[in-house]
Chains A and B, each alone.
Chain A
Amino acid sequence: MNAREGTAERASRFWTNIGAVAYKEASVIRHDKALLATVFAQPVMMLLLFGLALSNKPADVPWLVLDRSRTGASRALLQEIEHTGYFLRPRPVAGYGEGVALLKSGRALAFVVVPSSFRRDLESGQPQIQLLLDGADPLSAARIGAYIAQVAGAFNLRPLPSTNPDAQTVTRGPIDIRQQFWFNPTLADNRFFLVGLAGMLLTNLCLAATSLGLVAEREGGTYEQMLASPTTPLQLLLGKLLPYVGLNYAVMLMATLAAAVFFGIWPRGSWITLLIITFPFVLASLSIGVLVSTLARTSAQAVFITVFFILPSFVLSGSMLPYQFMPEGIREIGAAFPLRWYQIALRAITERGAGLTDISVPFLALAVIFVVTISLARLRMNPRLD
């Protein structure tokens, strides 16, 4: 009887202690203007950047043309390239040497040379054009090359102007490719970024808040004061993390709603699934913040470790570049970051409308990362003063 009461009392004290620490932490956060500014300014900044400013899709590409053929066919081909919408008006050059020199100076990205025999070759079977690209920007160059090759490959499917007006209008092509881009018909890059935006914001928030908060408290001596109180280190930790979980959910909802309202990206899956997968992610990220705080001795060190964790996690997780592009080895390193799994789940839910069962792998992975980091942090944490 007595023992049971004791257990109940202890359990309730356990939770009141956590509540008390959480209350204290929440009021600290409420008065931390710099943190709040970051929490609210960052999503706006990132939303604008990713929604409006950044794209991997080439635009306004400056290019050079040396048209030695000077026929209707060559002009039609060049016009079609221009009409893909990725290019500026072509700049004609007088000779091959001039074109190469301009390309080398970086004033153009591509140089198309149409040979003088182009028209004849088009009829007799081996038409060819030459394309020189500025390989100094490989990503743009690869895409520009693909666009021009596409235009050129499709060009012969149309009848030649004025060759034979009576010819049938559709010539047989090699293989008729019917393609569809699911989930994102225009392949807009901003959609790719915005879907993963919540993940990047939460990574920032979780790491900055916990690692800095814990170290600052140790520096300020308030950590020792709290250890001297009847709260156990575990209660202290849980209490400190609780308000951040709430803050994270607020930021997550804000980012998702803003992407939906301003850019029309409404999640196709359910909001509840989104909320559920966010939980292990926030826990995993917070626990990494805790681990950082145990490794760093001063807040400056905590910042260094945090920043140099956040940046690779943005890049390697696949939030900014698809992780499928990365070579083996690097890809596996990326799997250690919680953001990798969270962004996989975000894309699945937002784009493909995935349900709970579809995201079980990311969920489990996040849970594993959480358990491993929090155990490491516990090993590193020396609860008492040395």
Chain B
Amino acid sequence: MKWRRLRTLMRREALATFRSPFTVSVLISVPLAALLIFGFVLSTEVKGLALGVFDADNSSASRRLVAELVAKETFIEKRYDTRGDLQLALVAGEISVGLVIPPGFDRDASGRGNTSPPQIQILYDGAEAPLAGNAEGFIRSLIARNVEVHRAPGADNSASRPISVVTRALFNPTLDGKPFMVAGTFGFVLSFLTVLLTAVSIVNEKITGTFEQLQVTPASGLEILLGKILPLGAIFTLDVVLMVLVAGFVLDVWPAGSAIFFVAVSAFYVQVSLALGVIISATSATAAEAVQKSVMFSIPLVQLSGFLFPIRNMPTLVQWIAEIFPATHYIRVTRAIYMRGDGPVALAPELGLLILFGVSLMVFALTRIEARA
């Protein structure tokens, strides 16, 4: 391997990349758009959900209950005059939650009635399962918190009170979805964009014939491989820095750990991912084939890497499959650095795996390039 040859190859690659306005705009706009979109989509709080209310009691107690539920902007109240209307609205999808307060709620709540506790009925639109689950949790905790309010002053207090749970979330006290998604977005964007970009660029070179020209020069397979992935890797590292800055200044999400360590790990991961792109393109005859392979690769990338769905919730067999993707490990590392502030020591096992992936992928990519020569 000659340094001078490698340098020429690298300069050529960097020039080719920056000369294409389309590639440059993809490199800038895709990471930024992904950050802004994904940063906001995941939320653990329900907001502005339509709550249908049929208040058959229409007393001060029932009105207070409804007022509490709508106080926090979680629900927007819609009143219905009959139970039938409420159910129709739920079926039509106009409301997500239906609350029925039966007559006698006030009487039971104040303890003036007999022994029965006050009762309410809540209907959820289970068609939006995740939404219904969160709304249920919200309503239950709200009603539990307001027990004191609804307990009549003179009522029997000897019954034990509900256990209050004092909750504290480490690393992320408000359970904000933003840092979780921002950290994951690095993994998603870098994995996908690198594979797609290398695959397309190499296949295009094959079509125009410049790849064959490279292969007949004295440059060795290793030089061709490094001449391809090192400059692209450097460009993607700039992308990482850009994303860190945008996430920090626009979304106010900064890594809890060392930003320099994070960029260093990302710079290495980008090389791993680029090697994968080289393999995909080396095994494809046409651009369309390379693209289809990259896209097929992106489906498990989004769904199995833990980017959107926790790996823990998957069946065991699928969990093993998920572990094969380098992206899974990189996403785990980014989240650990961004949220827990972990350093190299705590992350040693994951980093070791990434290095293992990187070396084996590069060796494989090398054999693919040399096989063609």
Contacts and interface: CB of A to CB of B under 8 A. Distances in A.
Interface of A: 34, 38, 41-42, 45-46, 49, 52-61, 77, 100, 103-106, 122-123, 125-143, 145-146, 148-150, 152-157, 160, 171-185, 187-189, 191-192, 195, 208, 212, 216, 297-301, 303-304, 307-308, 311-312, 314-316, 320-322, 324-327, 329-330, 333, 344, 347-348, 350-354, 358
Nearest to B178: A138
A8 B131 CA distance: 56
7 contacts: A55-B313, A146-B141, A176-B118, A300-B204, A315-B41, A316-B37, A324-B96
Contacts of B154: none
Contacts of B196: 303-304, 307
A301 B189 CA distance: 17
Contact of B167 (A145, A189, A192, A303): A145
A103 B157 CA distance: 38
B137 A152 contact: no
B127 interface: yes
Question: What are the 9 tightest A-B residue pairs by CB atom distance, in nearest-first order?
Answer: A135-B172, A184-B126, A146-B137, A135-B169, A351-B127, A181-B126, A142-B44, A136-B339, A174-B147
B1 interface: no
Contacts of B118: 175-176
A322 B131 CA distance: 6
B135 to A, nearest CB: 9
A153 B297 CA distance: 45
B211 interface: no
A301 B129 contact: no
Interface in B139-172: 139-141, 143-144, 147, 150-151, 156-157, 159-172
A64 to B, nearest CB: 12
Among B30, B130, B204, the one with the most A-chain Cβ atoms within 10 Å of its Cβ is B130
Contacts of B325: none
A300 B284 CA distance: 14
Contacts of A156: 159-163
B364 to A, nearest CB: 23
Given A156-B160, A324-B128, A347-B128, A138 B177 contact: yes
Given A152-B164, A184-B126, A321-B41, 4 more contacts: A59-B313, A135-B175, A138-B177, A145-B169
Contacts of A358: 92-93
A298 B123 CA distance: 52
Interface residues of B, number: 103
Nearest to B306: A137
Contacts of B150: 174-175
Contact of A174 (B91, B117, B312, B315): B117
A134 B165 contact: no
A131 B166 contact: yes
Interface in B55-97: 90-93, 96
Given A130-B168, A175-B143, A299-B287, A330 B40 contact: yes
B120 A177 contact: yes
Contacts, number: 343
Given A128-B166, A141-B169, A327-B47, A59 B160 contact: no
Contacts of A184: 126-127, 129, 132
Contact of B160 (A127, A140, A212): A127
A52 B316 CA distance: 11
Contact of A352 (B127, B140, B314): B127
B48 interface: yes
Among B310, B314, B318, B336, the one with the most A-chain Cβ atoms within 10 Å of its Cβ is B310
B16 interface: no
Given A58-B310, A61-B312, A353 B91 contact: yes
Contact of A152 (B26, B163, B180): B163
B175 A178 contact: no
A175 B117 contact: yes
A307 B298 contact: yes
Contacts of B47: 324-325, 327
B210 interface: no
Contact of A122 (B93, B128, B160, B173): B160
Among B165, B204, B312, B336, the one with the most A-chain Cβ atoms within 10 Å of its Cβ is B165
Interface stretch (B4-12, B216-224, B288-296, B352-360): B288-296
A134 B171 contact: yes
B314 A54 contact: yes
A155 B159 CA distance: 12
Contacts of B171: 134-136
A126 B161 contact: yes
A125 B161 contact: yes
B336 to A, nearest CB: 7
Nearest to B126: A184
Given A180-B124, A324-B131, A316 B168 contact: no
B121 A139 contact: no
A142 B172 CA distance: 11
B303 A315 contact: no
B115 interface: yes
